[in-house]
Structure 1
Amino acid sequence: MDRTPAPSRYAGTARHFLAVLLLIVAVPPCVSQERDNLVEATLKAVVGLRAAVPESARTARSLGTRRQGNGIVIDDEGLVLTIGYLIMEASDIEVTDGSNEYVPAEMVAYDYDSGFGLVRARQPLGIKGMSLGDSSLLTPGDAALIVAHIGPDFLQPAEVVDVREFPGYWEYLLEQAIFTAPPFQGFGGAALINTDGKLVGVGSLIVHDARTGDRPVPGNMFVPINALKPIFDDLLDIGRASGESRPWLGVHTEMDRGHLFVLRVAADGPAESVGIRRNDIIVAVNGNPVSGMAEFFRQVWATGPAGVAVRISVMREGAVKEITVESGDRYDWLRLSPGSRYSAML
């Protein structure tokens, strides 16, 4: 992987943009030095992250075996917050230190429900942690800044264009997802920073409909930082949120012309084992009609914990077929590196 540091010629532009963002809120002259220090610390806290994943990993084909993105240092002891798909099933992880050199890191947590991942550097980074903001205060029209670690476009002013529910085709549902525009290419694990210079979101996706309506606007989806706060202690203690796992079927779905289609099924997953297949149309769960992705997920999860039997009604070749799926636990399905701290957590 490329060890090239973020080009220094862009550093002045980055400082300028962040300083302007912080000036949106009036700052008395007596604290101008404090503001300048905040600018420097904020930029430095966004680090590079890369992970190596075995070829045998369940996610190797879809997410790759060499993953690279961003992380955000959130304490003074090398704890780095990132988006979970960058480190899921990783055997080796590295983050950049204060000198912009990659150093080894270890998995601390991966939480499927929120999408967050945590790693900790195995040696001092020399970086002060970024303060966490309150993502619930964000409303459409708010100014923000997206900061990544590497490349000529590693910083971009943005506008919050929506805050809404986000259903992901991989059996994922996020409450109060943050949507920004314009699109930012280096989104994976990037920091969304508010006008107080605090972290309010972690970059997850680029989407075509950050703003919905007759004229959708493309942009990015960020996981709100408030989703981390109630599970943070659990992530540090046991590597994921506590409580029973939700039932997982191993189906990827998409909405098309008002119907919920099966896009594909996970290899060796519960849905594949009972014959659910691509292009099946899901019409009901346990006899309850479903018309959208979020409704489908909620109906499945309301059935019980992982392992519960879920009755799925699918339309196939003009007829409705009832299929009972013995749900699984997605954490058990993942192929974790033997002997890794991550595998020991689960």
Structure 2
Amino acid sequence: MQFLRWVRPVIAPAILLCLFAGPASAQIPDLRLGRVPTLAPLVKEVTPAVVNISVEGKVRQDNPLYQDPLFREFFDVPKQVEKQISATGSGVIVDAQRGYVMTANHVVEHVTSVQIRTKDGRKFAARLVGRDPGTDIALLQIRDPADLKAIALGDSDALEVGDFVIAVGNPFGLGQTVTSGLVSALGRTGLGKQGYEDFIQTDAAINPGNSGGALINLRGELVGINTAIISPGGGNIGIGFAVPINMARRVMEQLVQNGRVERGRIGISLQDLDVPVNGHVQGARVADVSAGSPAERAGLRKGDIIVKANDMPVRSATQVRNLIGLTPVGQRVRLTFERDRALGNATVEVAPAAEERARVRTSG
């Protein structure tokens, strides 16, 4: 996937950003009334919830002088130097009262200060609540929020391939731009960047400058946070990716509560089904169960085929890993599995990852 590009915030003068937002009241006009179909009412409804994010930060870079042996010998040359950067990106207001703005982690990963500008031109100082590199989601909070408009969160699990979506953003720093397209695929993984992948793929144009923006359905609901594109030349070729809002919402809840995401484990390793098993073409095979783990105590065994997780059909091993990894420690996950052509159920409590790793080392 050598052409994968994370639509990063660009370091001045280039811009990497994205926008998105909106409630659910706008509709396409009815053709029977003699009106031309348009998304204009929907766009007017959602765009006030999309904001521009300006970031000041510092990054450490390799010092070119350090590569010269003469300089290293006669001068005190540091191996790395610190560089001040400016970058821009997009965000989505998801809670107007508390001033919460969701964006992409890579937009704010080097932040020392951040400013948010709304569609009507107002500027607000903001603070970083927390960020999660594993899902590329971050949460900001506007200081002294006033007269903000939030977007309603949709249900990304209800998306289907072929659903219409729109994206709003600031590609190449041109200003707020709206594009439309379809959900091209669901559950995309293996892009090789983030640790918890379950991307929505869309052909709605996403370009550098769209990061942290939103993917919206035709109900005006936020269904994804735009994050990456595949692009041989740096521009849109119709293959873009967004983090599903259901995943982003779980991250946001933990960031609000803890300022970070606390990963948990239940003590199993999983594999995709490479061939159908007892009529199942989708699911996750339990490849191993750690002795003494929560999974073993709940009754799971090697070879079980997990077909549902929290009552949702399981497509892949990645889906189950994502669910467990984003479930707060101490909460439980309901797994339905098939063993010897019979269905069984297990309710497993998620244990702290560090505790689980220590237990595995102890048990060998």
Among 94, 99, 108, the alignment partner of 1:74 is 94
- Contact kept in structure 2, 1:105 and 1:119, CA below 8 Å: yes
Correspondence 1:180 to 2:225: no
Q: Shift in Å at residue 73 of structure 1?
A: 0.4
Give, in whole Å, the separation in 2 of the partners of 1:154 and 1:98.
Answer: 12
Map of 1:292-311 to 2, 5 A cutoff? 305=354
Correspondence 1:104 to 2:125: yes
Give, in whole Å, the separation in 1 of the partners of 2:176 and 2:116.
Answer: 20
- Contact kept in structure 1, 2:212 and 2:225, CA below 8 Å: yes
Distance 1:226 1:171, change over 3 A: closer
Partner of 1:167: 190
Map of 1:180-199 to 2, 5 A cutoff? 180-185=202-207, 186-199=209-222
Give, in whole Å, the separation in 2 of the partners of 1:92 and 1:86.
Answer: 12
Correspondence 1:224 to 2:228: no
Map of 1:85-234 to 2, 5 A cutoff? 85-97=106-118, 99-149=120-170, 151=174, 154-170=177-193, 172-175=195-198, 177-185=199-207, 186-208=209-231, 218-234=238-254
Q: Deviations over 1:211-230 (max 9, x none)?
A: xxxxxx74210000010233
Aligned partner letter, 1:50: S
Partner of 1:253: none
Q: Deviations over 1:212-258 (max 9, x none)?
A: xxxxx74210000010233432110111222459xxxxxxxxxxxxx
Aligned partner letter, 2:116: V
Q: Deviations over 1:37-68 (max 9, x none)?
A: 7643411101001211213389x99x993221
Distance 1:100 1:39, change over 3 A: same
- Contact kept in structure 2, 1:57 and 1:89, CA below 8 Å: no
Across the aligned residues of Structure 1 and Structure 2, the Cα RMSD in angstroms comes to 4.4
Aligned partner letter, 1:189: G
Q: Shift in Å at residue 191 of structure 1?
A: 1.1
Q: Shift in Å at residue 182 of structure 1?
A: 4.6
Of structures 1 and 2, the one with the larger relative CO (CA 8 A, separation 6+) is 2
Give, in whole Å, the separation in 1 of the partners of 2:355 and 2:118.
Answer: 39
Partner of 1:22: 27
Aligned partner letter, 1:112: P
Distance 1:170 1:178, change over 3 A: closer
- Contact kept in structure 2, 1:73 and 1:80, CA below 8 Å: yes
Q: Deviations over 1:274-326 (max 9, x none)?
A: xxxxxxxxxxxxxxxxxxxx99xx8xx9xx649969xxxxxxxxxxxxxxxxx
Partner of 1:54: 58
Partner of 1:42: 46
Give, in whole Å, the separation in 2 of the partners of 1:307 and 1:90.
Answer: 33
Distance 1:43 1:238, change over 3 A: same
SS in 1 for 2:256: helix
Unmatched segments (≥5 aa) in structure 2: 1-11, 14-19, 34-38, 63-79, 266-316, 326-352, 359-364
Given the two structures, how large is their TM-score scaled by the length of structure 1?
A: 0.55
Map of 1:228-247 to 2, 5 A cutoff? 228-243=248-263
Give, in whole Å, the separation in 2 of the partners of 1:153 and 1:128.
Answer: 16
Distance 1:88 1:198, change over 3 A: same
4+ runs deviating over 6 angstroms: 26-29, 306-309
- Contact kept in structure 1, 2:161 and 2:184, CA below 8 Å: yes
Aligned partner letter, 1:106: R
- Contact kept in structure 1, 2:135 and 2:194, CA below 8 Å: no
SS in 1 for 2:59: coil
